[in-house]
């Protein structure tokens, strides 16, 4: 679709297909906004949009993520218009660029560091202008995503990871840990809060590692809480070894949502050691107990990997035990997947696939049971919620991360609902869904 100089960009449609974690989704949505600002017409493939340019924002955390990303790329190539473009970006593009450089039908492969510049890269490409790929790290240059009827906004404050968990490919995809200037973060948060957002979700690849000029994560949270208008802060994933005394102190503030995602990975000390994770099952449980002393209502979420090399039945049962003791409110469950270049790839992947499936199913069943119990314990209770519209119906998201379908009509104007924190009473909890009413409106 090499455009002529005087092309009307409004006429060129772009779709972004996102894979992977919340951070990657955020970046993809921010890209959509960047394209919109640059004058392109952003379409959604799910709504039947037939884009001129498809951007596949890939993930490579497991083999399954690779496969899903490749499927999206292949579908985009099949649907490509005669003069269309297929662009591959994100983590898989960063780590396996040669694979995509060689692939017929892929027009551009863009790594993570310059991904934020994609709108200008595409413009340069269309107009046959040079683009200097040796620009500085653009990891924090993403436009804010703009979606109507939203009350929560992701704020990317950190990228990369300097840890070396033996199974993990993410450091190759995201680079060393680096943090965004806290002054920029405070300014940005002030702006979005002024625009009515009521929940700020601090996000990074390894958020607990945030450090900019001696300002660490607890200090950053303090600075943000110093900003005037009412809003609450939610933290994305934090590693257990980053949960220090200062962080324990700061989460005592009720404006920090009592919802903490802390990857356990395994409940076996032997496996944790092989994973190169510097904590024990007991120290993890001590940390959980301390969080619950500070905030008893805490929704504690986790990540679990089953079938790591040499994981015995006994190791696995230790994971189950720790899950029960920690009373996780939710969990992401992964089957171990060999990632080339990692330390664990040197170990024999010796847990048979069928056994991984069985262990994963057991963990998922326990996870669902614990999740239901957690939600049931809030039946009849009132929690502060922010609201989002999905397909015409409104969902409240409570501070302790229970999604509540609002059943009573539309009590307030849409504008009020999307830009307020309001108390919600949880009236019904089933395995699938929670329903409730806004207090004061029933
Ligand atoms: N195999 C399975 N799961 C993995 N994760 C990361 N690397 C692997 C791998 N090689 C999971 C971890 C991490 C989450 C983002 O992905 O649980 O916390
Ligand atoms: Fe996937 Fe990790 Fe990249 Fe997120 S940071 S998209 S989980 S590989």
| Domain residue limits, the chain | 13-126, 144-257, 267-294+301-377, 382-438
What are the strands, taking DSSP E only, across 256-415? 259-261, 299-306, 330-335, 382-390, 393-398, 403-406
- Position 70 pLDDT exceeds 60: yes
Average pLDDT on 393-419 reads 83
Average pLDDT on 151-158 reads 94
Which residues are within 8 A (CB) of 314 and not within 5 positions of it... i.e. 6 or more apart?
268
- Position 378 pLDDT exceeds 90: yes
Atom of ligand 2 nearest to the CA of 65: 1
Among 8-17, 58-67, 93-102, 153-162, where is mean pLDDT lowest?
A: 8-17
DSSP at 359: H
**CB-side neighbour CA atoms (13 Å) of 163:** 20
Q: What is the DSSP string of 132-171?
A: -TTPPP-TT-PPPP--TT--EEEEE-EE------TT--HH
| Cα distance from N-terminal residue to C-terminal residue, the chain | 55
Kindly report the CATH class assigned to 144-257: alpha beta
Of 109 and 150, the structure prediction assigns the larger pLDDT to 109
* CB of residue 93 inside a 6 A radius of ligand 2: no
* CB of residue 308 inside a 6 A radius of ligand 1: no
* CB of residue 265 inside a 6 A radius of ligand 1: yes
Residues 326, 402, 436, 382, CA torsion sign: positive
Question: Taking the domain 13-126, which CATH number applies?
Answer: 3.40.50.12160
> What is the pLDDT confidence band of residue 389, given thresholds at 50, 70 and 90?
confident
What is the predicted pLDDT for the residue at 83?
83
* CB of residue 165 inside a 6 A radius of ligand 2: no
* CB of residue 288 inside a 6 A radius of ligand 2: no
For tokens 């490409």, the residue is: 125
What is the predicted pLDDT for the residue at 2?
43
How far is ligand 1, taken at its centre, from the CA of residue 14, in Å?
31
How far is ligand 2, taken at its centre, from the CA of residue 322, in Å?
26
- Nearest to residue 387, comparing CAs of 438, 425, 440, 441? 438
What is the predicted pLDDT for the residue at 6?
44
For tokens 């929704």, the residue is: 299
CA distance 87 to 52: 11
Strand partners, 216: 211
Total residues found in the chain within this entry: 442
Average pLDDT on 36-46 reads 90
> What is the pLDDT confidence band of residue 224, given thresholds at 50, 70 and 90?
very high
- Position 5 pLDDT exceeds 60: no
CA distance 340 to 169: 8
What is the predicted pLDDT for the residue at 41?
93
* CB of residue 161 inside a 6 A radius of ligand 2: no
Ligand nearest to the CA of 203: 2
Assess contact for 179 and 202: CB atoms under 8 A.
no
- The reply to whether 13-126 and 267-294+301-377 are identical in fold is no
How far is ligand 1, taken at its centre, from the CA of residue 334, in Å?
6
Tokens of 300: 């504690």
What is the predicted pLDDT for the residue at 274?
98
Q: In this predicted model, what pLDDT tens digit does every residue of 91-112 receive, in sequence order? A: 999 999 999 999 999 999 999 9
Please give the C-alpha separations between residue 78 and each of 37, 50, 136, 217, 284, in angstroms, as whole numbers.
Answer: 28, 12, 34, 45, 48
Q: Where are the alpha helices (DSSP H) in 168-298?
A: 170-174, 182-194, 217-225, 245-250, 269-274, 281-294
What is the predicted pLDDT for the residue at 412?
65
Which residues are within 8 A (CB) of 283 and not within 5 positions of it... i.e. 6 or more apart?
240
Among 136-140, 146-150, 316-320, where is mean pLDDT lowest?
A: 146-150
Question: Taking the domain 267-294+301-377, which CATH number applies?
Answer: 3.30.750.200
CA distance 306 to 310: 11
* CB of residue 426 inside a 6 A radius of ligand 2: no
How far is ligand 2, taken at its centre, from the CA of residue 90, in Å?
8
Atom of ligand 1 nearest to the CA of 337: 1
Ligand nearest to the CA of 333: 1
* CB of residue 21 inside a 6 A radius of ligand 2: yes
């Amino acid at each position: 679709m090499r455009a002529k100089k005087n092309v009307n960009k409004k006429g060129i449609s772009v779709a972004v297909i996102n894979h992977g974690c919340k951070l990657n989704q955020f970046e993809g949505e921010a890209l959509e906004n960047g394209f919109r600002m640059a004058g392109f017409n952003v379409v959604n493939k799910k709504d039947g949009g037939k884009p001129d340019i498809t951007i596949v924002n890939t993930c490579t955390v497991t083999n399954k993520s690779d496969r899903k990303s490749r499927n999206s790329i292949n579908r985009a190539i099949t649907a490509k218009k005669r003069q269309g473009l297929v662009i591959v970006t994100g983590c898989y593009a960063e780590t396996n660029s040669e694979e995509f450089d060689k692939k017929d039908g892929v027009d551009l492969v863009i790594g993570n560091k310059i991904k934020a510049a994609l709108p200008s890269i595409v413009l340069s490409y269309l107009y046959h202008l040079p683009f200097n790929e040796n620009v500085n790290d653009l990891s924090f240059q993403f436009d804010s995503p703009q979606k109507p009827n939203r009350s929560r906004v992701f704020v990317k404050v950190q990228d990369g990871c300097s840890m070396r968990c033996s199974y993990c490919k993410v450091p190759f995809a995201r680079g060393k840990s680096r943090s965004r200037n806290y002054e920029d973060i405070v300014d940005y948060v002030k702006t979005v809060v002024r625009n009515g957002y009521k929940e700020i979700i601090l996000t990074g690849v390894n958020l607990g590692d945030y450090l900019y000029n001696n300002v660490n994560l607890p200090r950053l949270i303090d600075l943000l809480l110093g900003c005037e208008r009412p809003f609450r802060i939610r933290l994305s994933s934090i590693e257990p070894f980053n949960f220090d005394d200062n962080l324990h102190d700061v989460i005592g503030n009720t404006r920090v949502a009592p919802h903490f995602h802390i990857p356990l990975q395994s409940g076996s000390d032997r496996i944790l050691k092989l994973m190169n994770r510097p904590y024990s099952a007991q120290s993890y449980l001590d940390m959980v107990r301390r969080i619950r002393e500070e905030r008893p209502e805490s929704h504690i979420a986790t990540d679990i990997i089953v079938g790591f090399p040499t994981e015995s039945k006994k190791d696995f049962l230790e994971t189950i035990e720790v899950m029960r003791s920690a009373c996780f409110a939710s969990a992401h469950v992964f089957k171990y997947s060999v990632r080339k270049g990692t330390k664990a790839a040197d170990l024999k992947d010796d847990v048979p696939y069928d056994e991984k499936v069985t262990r994963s199913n057991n963990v998922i069943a326990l996870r669902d049971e614990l999740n239901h119990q957690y939600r049931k314990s809030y039946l009849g209770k009132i929690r502060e919620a922010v609201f989002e519209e999905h397909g015409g119906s409104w969902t409240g998201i409570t501070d302790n991360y229970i999604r509540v379908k609002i059943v009573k009509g539309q009590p307030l104007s849409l504008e009020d609902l999307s830009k307020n924190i309001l108390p919600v009473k949880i009236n019904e909890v089933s395995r699938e869904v929670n329903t409730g009413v806004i207090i004061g409106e029933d």
